Amino acid sequence: MAKLYFYYSAMNAGKTTTLLQSAHNYRERGMRVAILTPRLDHRAGVGRVASRIGLSADATAFARSDDLLACVRSQVDGEGSLHCVLVDEAQFLTRAQVWQLSEVVDSLRIPVLCYGLRTDFRGELFEGSQHLLALADELSEIKTICHTGKKATMTVRVDDHGYALQDGPQVEIGGNERYVSVTRAEFKRIVRGEGRIEPLQPSLPLD
């Protein structure tokens, strides 16, 4: 039975890597998938998703005004059956688009796998995440680690000096240099101005 899945996490947990691995698993078995990504997230180029470890793939870029049920139907009508729809940066979905994706599952019988952040830099739910948490059949946390060594569940936005920012728009596209994943306790400490966050360390070279 087709289901709507929401895989959520804090920043830098490997959401896009997991999405691309899922797409590969389907394609390896001769199945066709559609990858959708918000047009506003153009870090890898419009219509492309890329992970921090170097994996990438072409995707269909969508705007907030787009009907995703119509988008998927168009792909099925034009190119044939789809076995899975995967959505990157799903926190940027609108309420209407989450409902449309639920219709992809219920009306078209196509599984939909959404990957995104749960909360923003203020600790508040994104619109897309809020409605995915309400409507998804399956919820799964992708875990990552705070610099304290404990599980990170929150994301803090920092300035050039590593101090927490609490003002500004909810959506500001950026990567490791702007956002850091931390525990709830560390989030509170940093937001209170009791410390700062060092940038993520570069990966160690492989022998």
Instruction: Confirm or deny that 76 is annotated as ligand binding.
Output: no
**Cα–Cα nearest to 156, from 104, 131, 101, 193:** 193
Q: What is the pLDDT of residues 24-53, one digit of tens each?
A: 999 999 999 999 999 986 666 677 888 887
Instruction: Confirm or deny that 10 is annotated as ligand binding.
Output: yes
Q: Which residues pair with 179 in a beta bridge?
A: 157
CATH annotation of 4-143: 3.40.50.300
Q: What is the pLDDT of residues 92-134, one digit of tens each?
A: 999 999 999 999 999 999 999 999 999 999 999 999 999 999 9
Instruction: Confirm or deny that 100 is annotated as ligand binding.
Output: no
Task: Give domain limits for the chain.
Answer: 4-143, 151-192
**Distance between CA 163 and CA 165 in Å, rounded?**
7
Helices (H), the chain: 15-28, 68-79, 95-108, 127-135, 184-191
Question: Which residues does the annotation mark as catalytic?
Answer: 89
Q: Which residue has the higher pLDDT, 55 or 10?
A: 10
Cα angle 64, 21, 120; round to 5: 40
Instruction: Confirm or deny that 179 is annotated as ligand binding.
Output: yes
Whether pLDDT at 69 is above 90: yes
